[in-house]
Amino acid sequence: MTVAAEANPAEHYAAYLGAIRSGDRRRAFQIIDEARDAGLDLAAIYLGVFQPALREIGSLWQNNELTVAEEHLATAITQAAMARAYERAFTWRTDGSRKLIAACADVERHEVGLRMLCDLLDLEGWHTTYLGAAVPIDSLVAMVRRLRPDVVALSAALSPHLPRLRAMIAAIRDALGDTRPLIMVGGRPFLDDPSLAERLGADLTAQNATDAVRLLGERVSRAR
Amino acid sequence: MDSVTVEGRAAAELLARKTSLAQTATDALYADMPELTTRYGAVGRERCLEDIRYTIDHLIPAIDLTQPSMFTAYVGWLDDLLRARNVSTREVIRSLELIEQAVRNELAPDEANVVASFLRAGLDSLGAVRREG
């Protein structure tokens, strides 16, 4: 869509932040519908509206300007708004060959970044399996064995979850050896220091969901 | 965690003793600064215990991965968060010092030295903030 290049996420971002800050779900949905109508594609809405809005909500909480309840509400509204935006962008087109399994190392919350990656890959024709947070490691490994994905994407939002992330990677490597999938990691600790990815046994990391989609497109071939 | 390196052992010990270390440091902080009880009450003391546990949670991966910047970034974040809630940098500094004291009492000297060096990096980063501010 040529309109997308002209559409500016910044104005939608400000309005969207105002809506989730005050817990107004209807208004938040309306703003995202308007952003779609203005020509913003899903990636622009995810990275230009949702992601900066949630980061700002986190800062507002840190500065004691929002309560934990208000922060959770803003996240819940955003998850619903993401599902709604995804539904509107959805197509049945798939190449059916490239597969990815995604799981968060965190035991709670902070699942939004990985959800964004899965949605954007879906639109590129990938088959993604999103498991969210708190997946037991043995059950993750069993699913990797069964589905044989090209990629396993793992995220850790906070450094205390890194030991669990490393254990997940080690378990996948142990179980599948040479036939293991490509392992991608993401989250705040890897933004601060991308070299951590390799130290934890992963193959690659990316700065955001769009970069991850591009990187995986280059690394994983379509036809098999 | 690597059981061969001193960092790996220190991280494993911190993980195993997290609860008692946090309790010891919290008790010491309240003994040291009795005004905290009147200012924050019993709820404040529970919060303080949670915060100190959370600090140890962030100390563990930083030591395990020998990445001091991971811990100093957390300390900066914590200080901003607490100052926004009227908890002074002085209290954060004291809590880090008392975690060190608790660690020195519970861990082997070589492990305690490693933990202390990471806590000092955190203290230094707060010192820098204070000088600028």
Q: Among A62, A162, A163, whose Cβ lies nearest the Cβ of B80?
A: A62
Provide ipTM, 2 decimals: 0.82
> Looking at residue A153, what is its pLDDT?
97
Please indicate, yes or no, if residue B115 is contained in any of the structural domains. yes
What chain B residue is nearest to A167 in terms of C-alpha separation? B1
- Residue A214 scores a pLDDT above 90: yes
Of the residues A61, A158, A159, the best mutation for testing chain B's interface (the one with the most B CB atoms within 10 Å of its CB) is: A159
Residue A189 contacts residue A158 (beta carbons within 8 Å): yes
Residues of chain B with confidence (pLDDT) below 70: 128-133
- The pLDDT assigned to B133 comes to 40
Contacts with B84 from chain A: Cβ below 8 Å: 62-65
The predicted pLDDT at position A223 comes to 55
Closest-approach residue (CA) in chain A for B69: A192
Question: pLDDT digit string (tens) for A15-45?
Answer: 999 999 999 999 999 999 999 999 999 999 9
CB-based contact, A9 to chain B, within 8 Å = no
Euclidean distance between CA atoms A21 and A71, whole angstroms: 8
Q: Does B128 touch chain A (CB under 8 A)?
A: no
In order of their start, the domains of chain A are 3-89 (1.10.1240.10), 99-219 (3.40.50.280)
Domain count, chain B: 1
* Per-residue confidence (pLDDT) for residue A95, from 0 to 100: 77
Residues A48-69: tens digit of each pLDDT: 999 999 999 999 999 999 999 9
- Could you tell me if residue B54 is inside a domain? yes
Q: Which residues of B touch A63 (CB under 8 A)?
A: 80, 84
Task: Give residue-wise pLDDT tens across range A153-169.
Answer: 999 999 999 999 999 99
Provide φ and ψ at A130, rounded to 5°: -100, 120
Q: Which of B65, B75, B78 to mutate to test the interface with A (most CBs of A within 10 A)?
A: B65
CATH assignment of the domain containing B115 = 1.10.490.20
**Strand-pair partners of A152:** A101, A183
- The residue range of the domain holding B69 is 6-132
**B13 falls within a domain:** yes
More confident site: A167 or A96: A167
Helix B68-83 vs helix A51-62: crossing angle, to nearest 10? 60
Domain-embedded: residue B74: yes
Q: What is the pLDDT of residue A81?
A: 97
At residue A204's C-alpha, the angle toward residues A199 and A210, to 5°, is 140
A170-A174-A175 Cα angle (round to 5): 120
Assess if residue B1 is contained within a domain.
Answer: no
Nearest CA distance, B82 vs chain A (angstrom): 8
Confidence of residue A4 (pLDDT cuts 50, 70, 90): very low
Q: Which of B67, B71, B75, B77 to mutate to test the interface with A (most CBs of A within 10 A)?
A: B67
Nearest-CA distance A161 → chain B (Å)? 8
